């Protein structure tokens, strides 16, 4: 399967609805939030009606309402206090659950698609999606969506209530809302375009910030601080300008909604005033109830004019969740539990990028269990591509790659459960990432339950001795973001030790010694040589001194012609 630019993925369905299946586990909690919010609004409407009636009765008739009204009003006040507290409590709870559900689904998509590093993917944009977009959607699904659902029920109930008083009152409410919707519709397309501009500008700003932070040494080295400041200022200005235009439109929309709301109240008042048989004492109560009813309805209409940023966020999250897997669907997943070292058999495996550029011509190679094989080749021949195919970060467009046990039948790597495969085959690259945190925390990324003693032992096997001067806190020493406090040799040994902690059956080294001096290279190669016979090692390198320690050496260019023609030399 070739790489795909997920920025070009289009979906016919509204992405806001497209994400709902990923929140299905929380549908009952969302429904309960709607009910609580609806009950809270109904209690508020009741308070407005009863309060207006009792005040009007006291001012006009100079008498107090029956005790039942006061009891009902007090009960409504108490009920609203309870419902408001409960609504806040459950809405925050569901918000965190929605955020967790979206991020878990998103990271599941990233785990499939990010290793491809397609041209359209960028760390800054992915980070903006994982953090900013999911937080925006957290509020939408936990608060806005439930508000919209409650408003729809409230509109229906309010219309029925007004209709029971008089059809003209209900007609005034419905016609006023219809006029508001008709006046709002022409604004939606422009607001959608402006919302897209805001989100695009923010994503570009995030991508620029990530690039500048990762290239801070180069920026300082070339004296580009002023240029960088100008770039950041320009990106910030672009975001601010887009947001300012969008907010201006939203302010104009708010003014229009207020005018429509006033028009609805006037229409309801006139209809009530001219309603035969309606006690004038109830007219202020009807108007107050309508006003209270209009508040959530106006907010719901406002939401529709401001949905585009949420829709754009949902589209990016949905694209991340739906990233295509690098390989075919694992059908079926075959059991695999061979004992001892494993071999690798490559049968015509080739790989091309999404634009058709060939990264690796079809090649054939057989590596015996326990063998230490060296692979050389010119720059650009596809050595790193082959390494990533061997460890299933990418999957071949043509051919296949199989695991070969010492005894038993071989199995295609795509048919092995990914969790099982990650414990069998491990890659150490030249630019292996060292994460922020302690040395122990970095090692535990490979084996979360690894103890300090285990980590110290495997570091020793990789040639890294934790002396008190250099490593004052031993495995608990902080090594800084991206390994800023470690040398190139230490980085390589930490990366090798992290791989050895997994106890892989096949270890792939991709230019691991490329930037090391001769003494450090020798230490690292001694550690690799100690694996002879127990672990199959495939070393990809351009350095003769590295390849000289291998049992057998092949040139990648020689693997494209004759299938499985490379002879084996016995392991030393």
Tens digit of pLDDT per residue, the chain (572 long)? 333 333 333 344 788 888 888 888 888 888 888 888 888 888 888 888 888 888 888 888 788 878 888 888 889 889 989 988 988 888 888 888 888 888 888 888 777 666 655 556 666 667 767 777 888 888 888 888 888 888 888 888 888 888 888 888 888 888 888 887 777 777 767 777 787 788 778 878 877 887 777 677 678 777 878 888 888 899 899 989 988 888 887 788 778 878 888 888 888 888 888 888 788 888 888 888 888 888 887 877 777 766 777 787 888 888 888 776 655 545 567 677 777 788 999 999 998 876 678 888 999 999 999 899 999 988 888 888 899 899 888 888 888 899 988 877 888 888 888 888 888 899 888 777 788 788 898 888 888 888 888 888 888 888 888 887 888 888 888 887 666 677 878 888 888 888 888 888 999 998 888 777 888 788 888 888 888 777 899 999 888 888 888 889 999 988 887 554 444 443 33
- pTM, two decimal places: 0.63
**Cα–Cα distance between 101 and 173 in angstroms, integer?**
39
Peptide bond into 332 cis (omega under 30): yes
CB-CB contact of 355 with 42 (8 Å): no
**Cα–Cα distance between 395 and 349 in angstroms, integer?**
9
**Cα–Cα distance between 285 and 278 in angstroms, integer?**
12
- Return the SS3 of 568: coil
Domains and CATH numbers, the chain: 8-321 (1.20.1560.10), 342-559 (3.40.50.300)
CB atoms within 10 A of CB 528: 23
Going from the C-alpha of 92 to that of each of 69, 95, 140, 238, 351, the distances in angstroms are: 34, 5, 12, 33, 47
Structure tokens belonging to residue 287: 């108007």
User: Which stretches of 392-457 are assigned E, i.e. beta strand?
Assistant: 398-405, 411-412, 425-429
Structure tokens belonging to residue 75: 């009960």
CA atoms within 13 A on the CB side of 484: 7
**Cα–Cα distance between 6 and 466 in angstroms, integer?**
44
**Cα–Cα distance between 167 and 155 in angstroms, integer?**
15
Mark 176-204 as b/e (b = at least 16 C-beta within 10 Å).
bbeebeeebeebeeebbebbbbbbebbbb
Instruction: Report phi then psi at 122, rounded to 5.
Output: -145, 135
Instruction: Report phi then psi at 471, rounded to 5.
Output: -125, 75
CA atoms within 13 A on the CB side of 457: 8
């Amino acid at each position: 399967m070739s790489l795909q630019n997920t920025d070009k993925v289009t979906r016919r369905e509204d992405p806001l609805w497209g994400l709902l299946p990923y929140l299905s586990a929380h549908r009952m909690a969302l429904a309960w939030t709607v009910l609580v919010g609806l009950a809270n609004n109904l209690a508020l409407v009741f308070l407005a009606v009863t309060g207006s009636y009792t005040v009007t009765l006291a001012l006009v008739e100079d008498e107090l309402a029956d005790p039942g009204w006061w009891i009902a009003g007090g009960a409504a006040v108490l009920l609203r206090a309870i419902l408001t507290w409960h609504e806040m409590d459950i809405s925050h709870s569901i918000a965190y659950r929605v955020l967790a559900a979206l991020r878990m689904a998103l990271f599941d998509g990233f785990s499939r698609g990010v290793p491809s590093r397609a041209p359209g993917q960028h760390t800054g944009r992915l980070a903006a999606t994982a953090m900013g977009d999911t937080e925006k959607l957290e509020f939408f699904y936990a608060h806005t969506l439930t508000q919209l659902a409650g408003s729809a029920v409230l509109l229906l109930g309010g219309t029925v209530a007004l209709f029971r008083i008089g059809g003209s009152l209900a007609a005034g409410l419905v016609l006023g809302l219809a006029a508001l919707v008709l006046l709002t519709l022409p604004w939606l397309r422009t607001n959608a375009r402006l919302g897209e501009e805001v989100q695009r500008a923010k994503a570009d700003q995030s991508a620029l910030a990530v690039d500048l932070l990762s290239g801070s040494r180069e920026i300082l080295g070339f004296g580009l601080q002023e240029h960088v400041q100008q770039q950041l200022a320009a990106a910030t200005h672009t975001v601010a300008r887009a947001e300012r235009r969008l907010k201006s439109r939203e302010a104009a929309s708010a003014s229009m909604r207020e005018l429509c709301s006033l028009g609805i109240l006037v229409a309801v008042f006139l209809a009530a005033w001219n309603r035969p048989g309606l006690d004038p004492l109830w007219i202020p109560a009807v108007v107050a109830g309508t006003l209270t009813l209009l508040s959530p309805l106006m907010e719901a209409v406002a939401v529709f004019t401001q949905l585009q940023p949420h829709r754009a966020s949902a589209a990016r999250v949905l694209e991340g969740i739906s990233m295509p897997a690098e390989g075919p669907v694992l059908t079926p997943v075959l059991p695999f539990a061979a004992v001892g070292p494993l071999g690798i058999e490559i049968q015509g495996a080739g790989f091309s990028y999404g634009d058709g550029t060939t990264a690796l011509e079809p090649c054939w190679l057989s590596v015996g269990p326990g063998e230490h094989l060296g692979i050389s080749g010119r720059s650009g021949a596809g050595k790193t591509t082959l390494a990533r195919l061997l460890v299933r970060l990418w999957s071949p467009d043509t051919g296949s790659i199989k695991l070969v046990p010492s005894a038993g039948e071989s199995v295609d790597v795509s048919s092995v459960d990914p969790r099982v495969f990650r414990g069998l085959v491990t890659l150490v690259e030249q630019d292996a990432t060292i994460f922020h945190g302690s040395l122990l925390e970095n090692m535990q990324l490979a084996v979360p339950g690894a103890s300090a003693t285990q980590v110290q032992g495997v570091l020793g096997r990789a040639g890294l001795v934790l002396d008190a001067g250099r490593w004052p806190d031993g495995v608990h020493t902080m090594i800084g973001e991206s390994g800023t406090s470690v040398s190139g040799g230490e980085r390589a040994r930490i990366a090798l030790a992290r791989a050895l902690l997994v106890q892989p059956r096949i270890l792939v080294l991709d230019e691991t010694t490329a930037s090391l001096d001769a003494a450090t290279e020798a230490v690292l190669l001694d550690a690799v040589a100690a694996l002879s016979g127990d672990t199959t090692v495939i070393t990809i390198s351009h350095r003769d001194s590295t390849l000289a320690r291998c049992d057998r050496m092949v040139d990648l260019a020689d693997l494209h012609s004759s299938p499985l023609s490379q002879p084996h030399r016995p392991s030393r």
